[in-house]
Structure 1
Amino acid sequence: MVNLPQTRNDTFNRRWKSSFGAPPEVCCELWNKIDPYKTMPAGVDPKHILWALLFLTVYDTEHNSAQRLGNVDEKTYRKWSELFVIAISYLECEVIVWDNRFLGDSGNKALVTLDGTDMPVEMKFAKEFMSHKFKGNGLKYEVGVCIATGHIVWVHGPSRAGESDITLARQAFVSFLNDNEMAVADSGYRGEFRSIKTPDKVHFRSGLEFYDAAVARARHETVNSRFKNNQVLVKRFRHSLAFHSACFRAVAVISQLIIENGEPLFDVQYSDEGRKV
């Protein structure tokens, strides 16, 4: 187990989070969930998880990051930061739980908001990877957020950024919905009338429900913004595409733990026609 520093103040917390992307409580929780002394190679040290968090938050060159850490050997920095990024990503099944969409369930038909987000990657031009959101090559991921709690309950991808959001949703998300269950999403998800409520009056009983769904979608954008506080998802990714998936999932895990540990999303009031039994 790793315990928090005994003496901390707002300045300490702010500087810590600017470097590592998460408050000290979340860093300790990550370490304890991974249990590195049992799961990592010999020589593991608590500082190594901070290297991984620095990697995700700043995404600088290995040379600059190693210098920032006090002339750490670049190969050593790369080894431990990558090991811990992967270890954090493996916590996805424990932290981001699809069944948690039922927490706070009031019987609504729509339990989650769904949205796709594109992330830039460094690669040769390929039309199928071209994102219309930033006019460059990228990967597309899908995130689902529980309407009642604001918790992240679904992560899927990557797919090629040139694919539509609805194409990605059809790969897995739609089949994971129960009978008579739907999601709320933007107009990019039109085409699955029975599964996804998009911003058209056909899907909503009243102007109030239409408005509440819009607020829920707007709140979802704050999740995307929190993800992009991590420069690894903003700068053009220079590592392998497989490792990008680990980085995205690690950021999702960290973001969910931050939500659970004192930085929740704003509340949303939403009520629809309800699920039929």
Structure 2
Amino acid sequence: MHEDKMQQFTWMFIDALVELYEWKIKCPAVWPVMMGASVDGTQKPTNEPRDDNVRRNRKNFCYKYNIAGLNYQVALATWTNRVLYSRADPGSTHDITAMRKEFIGMIPAGCRVIADSGYTGKSDHEKEVFAVKNCLDDDEVAKFKAIVRARQECFNSRITSYKCFKQKFTHGIDKHPKCFKAVVVQLQYAIEDTSDAGEPLDTV
């Protein structure tokens, strides 16, 4: 098949997966009593956005790779194989800054989100919501947090197994978030599938 035709069909397939995103990736309006979540970000390099007036766009600068990129956030339910939320931000966006934009407002009082030190908040509300590693945690709590964070890292590693995340993305910075949504949808189907073909996350 001609390369141009192949690219056309590839983007048609990606667009079809993106259409499923709003249906598959949902944060519940009312959280169950025992529901918890974890969140983590991953940065991915892309090509520099073209701008005739600005040679370097520091907003999209990704410090991890020292190049233009995007910062992706993913939140998982703790007790079920569900992706609750994801978003894409410019590479310079700090993890907790990305969460302040939307996700933190979705978390009801009494529910906590296990995260790494990048989500250490300044306000009392943020400190209450994000459960980061704490030297005052007893052994059981510390172990539980470590397991949940490892589970989150497992999901993020599956994202990076896709070619569009393994290497620098050169098809335009505006298209990469679309690929991200398509990957998240595919992984949601994989982790919820309990058949031999499924790839559920290890439950805590």
- Rounded to whole Å, the distance in 2 between the matches of 1:101 and 1:245 is 27
Aligned counterpart for 2:81 among listed residues 134, 143, 150: 150
Shift of 1:126: 3.3
Q: 1:78 offset after TM fit, Å?
A: 2.1
Instruction: Say if 2:60 is the partner of 1:129.
Output: yes
Aligned residue among 204, 208, 212 for 2:140: 208
- TM-score normalised over the length of structure 2: 0.85
CA distance in 2, matches of 1:242, 1:162: 16
Distance 2:143 2:5 in 1: 52
Partner amino acid, structure 2, of 1:235: Q
Kept in 1, the 8 Å contact 2:76–2:152? The answer is yes
Which residue identity lines up with residue 96 of structure 2 in the other structure?
I
Within the candidate set 109, 119, 133, 1:199 is matched to 133
**TM-score, structure 1 normalization:** 0.64
Match of 2:19 in 1: 90
1:138 matched residue in structure 2: 69
Aligned residues: 190
Offset, 1:101: 9.3
Question: Cα 1:101–1:95, aligned 2, differ >3 Å: closer, same or farther?
Answer: farther
Aligned to 1:242: 174
Offset, 1:242: 2.2
Using CA pairs under 8 Å that are at least 6 residues apart, name the structure with larger relative contact order, 1 or 2: 2
Q: 2:43 aligns with which of 118, 134, 158?
A: 118
Deviations 1:124-150 (A, max 9, x none): 643332223223221011101111023
Secondary structure, counterpart of 1:86 in structure 2: helix
8 Å CA contact 2:47–2:173 kept in 1: the answer is no
Distance 1:236 1:144, change over 3 A: same
Indicate the SS of the match to 2:98.
helix
- Whichever residue aligns with residue 179 of structure 1, its letter is A
State which of 82, 89, 94 in structure 2 corresponds to 1:164: 94
CA contact 1:111–1:182 (8 Å) conserved in 2: yes
More helix as a share of residues: 1
Bigger Rg over Cα: 1
Give the direction of change, closer, same or farther, for the CA distance of 1:139–1:195 in structure 2 (3 Å limit): same
Structure 2 counterpart of 1:88, which letter?
L
Tell me, in whole angstroms, the C-alpha distance in 2 between the residues paired with 1:100 and 1:142.
19
